[in-house]
Structure 1
Amino acid sequence: MRETDESIPTPNADGLTKRERLHWHLTSALASAESPETKAHLRGALVEYRKLPPTPLVECPFCGKVGLPERIQAHECQRP
């Protein structure tokens, strides 16, 4: 976990995709929310999150590994 400028502990960016981090933030906020209105908004945000289209997989042009764009960009390429 690392600290943001708001001092909220968040998962390390290297371990999760942006979508996974968004889901983590929404579910964590819902778990800690006290106001019924806030909980309703967060549940609505989670519903919309689940409706997002899937992230397309990409292939590394050098080694052929397939995965999420941000993971392929950061992978240790094993060029043939």
Structure 2
Amino acid sequence: MSDRVDTEAVRHQLVQAYTRAVHPGAIVHLQAALAEFEDELGDELVECPVCEQLGFPDRIRVHDCRG
């Protein structure tokens, strides 16, 4: 097992959890976790102006918008 953490995979999983979370407490915790990544790594999450999906800029540009 490697000691390296695939931060992109972790961020991806957090974003997926955030977009599916329904419990307000869980949403707050996921927002805090994602904010830690933003502080450390600099990538900010953006929201699609049409469907309001949250994600990384490169993924939002090509996502399947349901708006």
TM-score, normalization by structure 1: 0.43
State how far apart, in whole Å, the 2-side matches of 1:53 and 1:27 are: 15
Q: Give deviations 1:14-47, integer Å, cap 9, x for gaps.
A: xxx8111011010000011110110010001000
Q: Find the structure with the greater CA-based Rg.
A: 1
RMSD: 2.0
Task: Determine helix, strand or coil for the equivalent of 1:42.
Answer: helix
Unaligned stretches of 5+ in structure 2?
Answer: 43-67
State how far apart, in whole Å, the 2-side matches of 1:52 and 1:28 are: 19
Identity level (%): 26
Q: Which fold has the larger relative contact order, with Cα–Cα distance below 8 Å and residues 6 or more apart in sequence?
A: 2
Q: Which amino acid aligns with 1:43?
A: Q
Task: Give 4+ residue runs of structure 1 displaced > 2 Å after superposition.
Answer: none
* Between structures 1 and 2, the one with greater strand share: 1
Aligned length in residues:
38
* Between structures 1 and 2, the one with greater helix share: 2
State how far apart, in whole Å, the 1-side matches of 2:12 and 2:41 are: 18
State how far apart, in whole Å, the 1-side matches of 2:41 and 2:32 are: 17
State how far apart, in whole Å, the 2-side matches of 1:24 and 1:34 are: 18
State how far apart, in whole Å, the 1-side matches of 2:29 and 2:41 are: 21
Matched, 1:35 2:26: no
Unaligned stretches of 5+ in structure 1?
Answer: 1-16, 55-80
